[in-house]
Structure 1
């Protein structure tokens, strides 16, 4: 049965539901929502679902008493900025539409508790989410997110945000700021592109459900746990084994300047020789130890290469200098390594002094 808009206006209802094939035809015949709807200021709950609605009129701002707006299963492609004027809105369901971008004014919904964006074409949330301090549940599964929304990881959400549903996106990583979500109980990240899980996730101690299946996690043990989905064991493993502070250089943690200095000093102490010893070694054709490969986890040399020295009488005499040694990489171990390299030492013929370039580190 078609809705009689004037009768509705007279009755001043608190709820209005427009859903299903019959109402869908009425919406199509009237080319959208009838203007009379926006004069029913008594409405607290309005549902327009399973219709051909493709435009939400700017007059939506007139329904200032709305606390719930259900617009799922339509053909909406965008929202008017006036939706941000619904100051009492607590529940907004936009699932199963064709929305590509959310208006920045959406962040003005200070009373919002539940937001459903499932199955759209959205790639990001509005920039400023500080007003969503009452948000409890957010669902943005089956969209185009390539990054986890960092705006959701601020202390603003530490008290109330308990559920995040983000399956079937293209999310590549999790921000370390996720540690602020101390009230989080459910985190669903199934079928994304996450390779590394930050140790900071372990600070979300109230998590009861953590779903990571279908992600190319590089940590083999964590990947196996994720596929089996035992949340308690996953959280324990993250707390014990996952690195904090983010991922650097595709999983290899670059040593601090202090650690590099220590390695250089250690290598220099073991291989240092006097100028006279180096010259004699060069004259006698002895090998000179010049390069060390260091395991960055154990901070210990794992292999030293001893390239064959060049004799001073060879054709390496240039600009008054004699080349007495050179670097040659013989072998390296994969993944966790970097090279401490010294430039070739040279002997100045005129002053008989030995010069050596500074060490450099390659990783």
Structure 2
């Protein structure tokens, strides 16, 4: 009796799993057939991107976050109109070279993968404005980024950076730079030459001394919280400081409510942005 009962339970569980997979795939097929320029295949348990996706040449925005992707099919290059590609929370150890041929990309999200470097071909993405690579394994700043003339927002928080290259100032278009959760023990002096930065986040490092930042005239938000520093650095009157245990969310809300400097962007997440250079609350826009 117990054997047959156990066997019956297994059969029921298997049937339910198969039904769930069928229902999920039915929804995926509906999305694929919709003709919508936005396709969200996030958290579908994919190990491979469905091949049919690469034939959807009308796509402009593709979201495949939270799957188990290690690479992408080479024929994704057929999606020549793609402007936004989100690959967060996958298992990629290398950036698929096919991505580097999507020359109309303006936003690329590669956070929470297993990346340690970028391919030289990434410099082909000349339209890129926003690149998020937080929570990876970078130990060196990727110099390929110098060749992206329109890059405005760079998210490299929660990596393993200890220094920045002395010629980082060459990234003249950069407006937002997120470097929280790295391994800096000294303030990178090259940042003082980046006079067009509006947002700078150095939270959760090991920096004991910050220079006077009032020489950064465009700066509007600076986070230095969770560093072994005794007091706040000098900044301009229009700068919102986040430090000394101040709740990050309060600072974000102050900015968004207009109580502080008027800028579009936040410190560490993409939850409340509304500009092109800083990711929006819902990427499905």
Scaled to the shorter chain, the TM-score interval is 0.5 to 0.7
**Match of residue 37, structure 2, among 1, 4, 14:** 14
Once the two structures are superposed, residues 292-314 of structure 1 have per-residue CA deviations (whole angstroms, 9 ceiling, x without a partner) of: xxxxxxxxxxxxxxxxxxxxxxx
Is contact 1:18-1:47 (8 Å) kept? yes
SS in 2 for 1:92: strand
Tell whether 2:217 aligns with 1:205. yes
Partner Cα separation in structure 2 for residue 161 and residue 76 of structure 1: 26
Once the two structures are superposed, residues 6-44 of structure 1 have per-residue CA deviations (whole angstroms, 9 ceiling, x without a partner) of: 776665431111023xx21xx24xxx1122211211111
For 1:177, the equivalent position in structure 2 comes to 190
Q: Which has a greater percent of strand?
A: 1
**Match of residue 178, structure 2, among 162, 165, 170:** 165
Is contact 1:92-1:114 (8 Å) kept? yes
Rg larger for: 1
For 1:189, the equivalent position in structure 2 comes to 202
Q: Are the structure 2 counterparts of residues 173 and 132 from structure 1 closer, same or farther at C-alpha, using a change threshold of 3 Å?
A: farther
Is contact 1:9-1:39 (8 Å) kept? no
For 2:98, the equivalent position in structure 1 comes to 82
Q: Are the structure 2 counterparts of residues 56 and 146 from structure 1 closer, same or farther at C-alpha, using a change threshold of 3 Å?
A: farther
Kindly indicate whether structure 1 or structure 2 has the higher relative contact order, using CA contacts under 8 Å at least 6 residues apart: 2
Q: Are the structure 2 counterparts of residues 7 and 168 from structure 1 closer, same or farther at C-alpha, using a change threshold of 3 Å?
A: closer
Partner Cα separation in structure 1 for residue 163 and residue 190 of structure 2: 13
TM-score for both structures, normalised by structure 2: 0.66
Alignment gaps of 5+ in structure 1: 217-222, 236-363
Cα root mean square deviation, aligned: 2.8
Q: Are the structure 2 counterparts of residues 66 and 196 from structure 1 closer, same or farther at C-alpha, using a change threshold of 3 Å?
A: same
Alignment gaps of 5+ in structure 2: 1-23, 240-285
SS in 1 for 2:144: coil
> Within 5 Å, which residues of 2 pair with 1:62-141?
62-141=78-157
